Amino acid sequence: IMAFAPHHRRDGGGLYSFSSRPRAVESRPRYRDDQPHCLDSSMQRAHGNIMYDRRVVRGNTYGRHVLPPPGGSRTVRQRSPAQRAAREQLRGSSPEALLGRKHVHMQTERYLEELSEVLVSENAECQTDAFLDRPASPLFIEQGDLFDFDVEVQPVLEVLVGKVMEQSLLEVMEEEELASLKAQQRTFEELRNSRLAEVQRLQEQERRHSQERERRIAQQKEVLRKEKETAEKIAARAITQQYLAGLQPAVFSSLRGHGFFYDPVERDVETNFLPWLMAEVNDTLRKRSTARQTLDSE
């Protein structure tokens, strides 16, 4: 391995160049010292070499495993019970805790582990019905009979009378409650019937008002229609009279000019006398012409 000593040189154009001459490099140990306070001898030299600097990370940077940031998100990964058992066997047991201390299980892995073996428990309570306390046992009195009827029957009678009174009170309360419910129902039905009657009255009144309003509207419409028809007739009559005022003389003049209105004597003269007169004149003229021609020919 060769190293290059620095060499400075300046050419004729004034440009500055740098180069180093080759020289031998001293041998270095194959492995670095494990103690942190010891430094390599190569790092103590003036020129140094970053390849042997402890502050430089060796190896490729893209293949290194990058730890997640402290505040970033964590991935939760579940492990099977078999994997957890194998992991516990390989891990080994921890030493006993010191006096006054104890071991606590905690997760120190990089990924969180879901604790799925926690049993779900629920609390339920029940309470039995309250019973009457058992009466104290009477003192045993040795007499001729096996028991004293008056003393022994007293608790039974108390229970029977208490149950009868309780049942009676319950029945009386039930009857009173039923009577109250019937009274409330009767009151409610009366109130409902009165309200229904009032609603029906208001509906009938509204129906009559609606009919009266519709009838008045129809009458008003009929009056307006008749007024409109009357106004239209009056306008049509006025227009007709104004139009016919000059139409009648013009029609008579036109009819008179076309010969529809004539004098009977004049028409008789024109239709009968004048054609006969013309025929007679023509016949006379024709005879005279014939006679003149006959005279001329002789």
Compute the residue count for the chain. 298
Q: What is the pLDDT of residues 224-260, one digit of tens each?
A: 999 999 999 999 998 888 887 777 788 878 887 777 7
Instruction: Show the domain range for 179.
Output: 50-296
- What confidence category does residue 115 fall into, taking pLDDT thresholds of 50, 70 and 90? low
In a domain, 202, yes or no: yes
Within-domain flag for 34: no
Note whether residue 200 is domain-resident: yes
For all residues of the chain together, what is the average pLDDT?
Answer: 77
9 lies in some domain: no
Q: Contact 132/162 with Cβ under 8 angstroms?
A: no
**How does pLDDT run across 187-206, given as a tens digit for each residue?**
999 999 999 999 999 999 99
Query: For the range 1-4, what are the long-range contacts, defined as Cβ-Cβ under 8 Å and sequence gap of 24 or more?
Result: 1/25
**74: in domain:** yes
Residue 1 lies in a domain: no
State the virtual CA torsion across 140, 141, 145, 148 in degrees, nearest 10.
-80
Domain contains 168: yes
Q: Write down the pTM of the prediction.
A: 0.27
**Within-domain flag for 26:** no
Count of domains observed in the chain: 1
> Could you tell me if 10 and 4 are in contact, meaning their C-beta atoms sit under 8 angstroms apart?
no
Both tokens assigned to 93: 């047991």
Q: Please indicate whether residue 23 or residue 210 has the higher confidence score (pLDDT).
A: 210
For residues 9 and 17, the model is more confident at: 17
